[in-house]
Structures are given as C-alpha cells and as structure tokens.
Structure 1
Amino acid sequence: MSRWTVLLAQPVPVEPLDVVPIVRVLEKCPAKAFDVEETQLSSPTPPRRSGYDIVVVPGGEGARATYADTPVMGLLDEHVRAGRRTYTVCSGAFVPAARGLLEGRTVATHTGKAAALAASGLCTARQGLVRDGAITSVGGTAVGHVKALALALQIVADHEPGLLPALWTRLDIDPSRLPQVEVVR
C-alpha cells in the first residue's frame, strides 16, 4: 500500500462543508494511506512538496475569484497539465477553468452555477460525479458535505479500493446509496 500525498488547495473564503468530509474520510482510512496538506490558493508560501499524487480544489464563494500566480496556483497548473489526478467539489471547478485547464472537458458543479461555468466556453458543466480523464468533479443540488463525502470516497476508490469496505463500515455508509461516477472519457 502506498501513502498518497494530497494537496487540498482551498479558495478564500472556502465552504467548510466541502473540506471537512474530505479531510476526515482520508484521515480515517486504515494504515494512514493518505497524507493531506491543506493550503490556500492565494498563499504566497509554497506547499511542503513540489508535487502531489492528488490535488483537490473545494468550492466556496472564493472559488470564482481570480488568483494571482502564487506557488499553489503554479503547482495546480503543472499538476493538471501533467495529467495527474485532480478533483473538484462544486464551484471548485471554477478555479482550474479560469486558468484554462478545463478546455474541452466535462465537469460537475453546483446546479445554480453550471450556466456560468459553461458560458466560459471552455467546458461543459453537469451535475453528479463526473470523470473526464484525470479530472473528477462533483456538483449538483446536494448539500456541500454530501458532495464532498462522495468525492472523498471516490478518491479512496481510485487509489486504495481495497480500503473501501472497512471505511464504509467505519463510517456507517451504505455504498448502494452513493452516486456512481459518470466517465466521460
């Protein structure tokens, strides 16, 4: 089993309900399979590492802001362009979209914000749990923590699927009630 490095790159302000389930689910995985670092997109301080296995961008009011070329944004650019696993929660999809990183892609975002994201002309917006290449996103009308929980469990499924049964038991989750990922390409 690997120890996967995860960067949770948060907009300011962030939606806490988009963050807490991801951190808590990954922390509860057996054998400490995930090492999560939290930072802000606007931080002038570089992240601890120069590269991560996984980058997650949660949503929140700050997700539609324009971010300068900070070390965190540079890392996000390199990560996505290299085709590495990237995940967004709800309006978090606006961050890579604003950087031109979602061109020609299909992503999920909040139902009320899908038209604005699609209006950029760079990507197609949907609801649900969507995978397009190395980018997986979740959005729709569900409350933020429900979407974030689904995405956190998808991260585990993608990287350590053998841990899911123990995690479902520990979290008292019925896997048949979880959204299925729609693979676009």
Structure 2
Amino acid sequence: MKLFVAIVPPRSALQELAAAVRPLHALPQAAALRWTALPTWHLTLAFLGQVDDGTLPELERGLAAVAAGQPEFELRLGGGGRFGDRALWAGVGGDTAALARLAGATTEAVGRVGIGTDDHPFTGHLTLARSSVPRDSRDRGPRRPGAADLGPLADALAGFRGEPWPTGALRLMDSQSIGAGRHYETTAAWTLPPRG
C-alpha cells in the first residue's frame, strides 16, 4: 500500500475552496496544469510511501496515540501559494501551530516503526494543481521550459478566506492509481479529543 497521513477538511470547506478555484481554470496558465479533484483534497501531514502490511498494526497504534494526545483545533483554508513551477496550492490558516505539532508528532510516530518520510519542512497546504511538464534533473532555472507561471494563479487566491472548521480526525490514507488519476481511501481514522 502507498500510504500517507492526512486531515480531510469538511465538505463545506472544500466547496468554498472549489468556488474560489473555479475561475482559475479559465486563466491562460491553467491549460498547462493537471488539476486535482475535490474528492481528493486533503492536508498531508506525512507521506509514507510503500508500507508493508506487517507494519500496519504497530503504525496504527502509534497514530492512535498521536491523535489521542492532540485535542481538536480550528483551521480554515485561505490564500494560495506555489512550489516553484511544480504545484499550486491553497493555504491553511487558524491554529497552524497545532497543525505543525500534529505533523511533527505524526512524523515521529511513523519513524518509530521504521518508516522514513521526506525531510522537507512541513508546510500546511492543500494541492490544487500540478505541472503537466515532466521533471528533468537538468532543469535548474526558476522555471522549466514549457511550465506554467503559477504566480498569477497563486495571487488570484490571495484574498480567499474560508470559514473555520474543527480538525476532526487524523486519517491514514491509501493512494491508489486509477487510470491517469489518483483515488484516496481512508484505511483508518482516529478522532481528535474535544478541547478542554
């Protein structure tokens, strides 16, 4: 299984974001992107990659402990950004310190069962689109030939501020290839305890 740990915003928050993103599809830069679909939108806390079935029980116990130790907190989707010319994303506001703590605790729990994660610093975001231009290790400039300039798309999201929502649950998700796209299925979830 190809797994990751995530928080999935409620449908109402995703629909607010979808309404803000819809006009971006008409901009010239949009044609060079592969847009993600609303049913796949999530906030990744840790990407685990291929995980052996035998590791799952210990992994799930560790993630259950992480969730139990983190009271629910409030987030909202807002603003936008980009990772160079590779990906366009929606930002996250609200209690981002709690989100970073949850991501850190998740990474530690995953590491304790011998699963490595990427070493990039955590940036809370929801991926909206990826470049359709393949990566090439020889491309060292600010933008790859043929890749879209994502700056105007990120700027167009600058004023978006969604309504706040409680985090709800920590989810272990399986990433499955379906045709040219991806499908994400929750394999286990743990509700964060109420505040107070």
Q: Which has the higher contact order (CA 8 A, sep 6+)?
A: 2
- Tell me whether the two structures share a fold, i.e. TM-score over 0.5: no
Q: Which has the larger radius of gyration?
A: 2
**Greater percentage in helix:** 1
